[in-house]
Amino acid sequence: MSRKAVPYLLLLLIGLAMAVGGFLLLDTKVTCDGEEMRPGDQCIEYSDTSRKAYTFDEYADKGRRQSLVIMIGGLVIAAGSAFGAWRAGRTQHTQAEAAAAWQQGS
For the entire predicted model, the pTM comes to 0.69
Q: Is 11 in contact with 95 (CB distance < 8 Å)?
A: no
Q: With 70 as the cut, is the pLDDT of residue 93 above it? A: no
* Nearest of 95, 100, 67 to residue 2 by alpha carbon: 95
Give the domain range for residue 21.
3-105
Give pLDDT, residue 1. 58
Q: Looking at per-residue confidence, does 100 or 58 come out higher?
A: 58
pLDDT value of position 92: 61
Quick: pLDDT tens for 49-65: 999 999 999 989 988 99
- Averaged over 81-99, what is the pLDDT? 76
Determine the Cα–Cα distance for residues 44 and 29; give it in Å rounded to an integer. Answer: 17
13-43, pLDDT tens digit by residue?
999 999 999 999 887 888 888 899 999 999 9
In total, how many domains does the chain have?
A: 1
Return the pLDDT at 95.
66
pLDDT surpassing 80 at residue 103: no
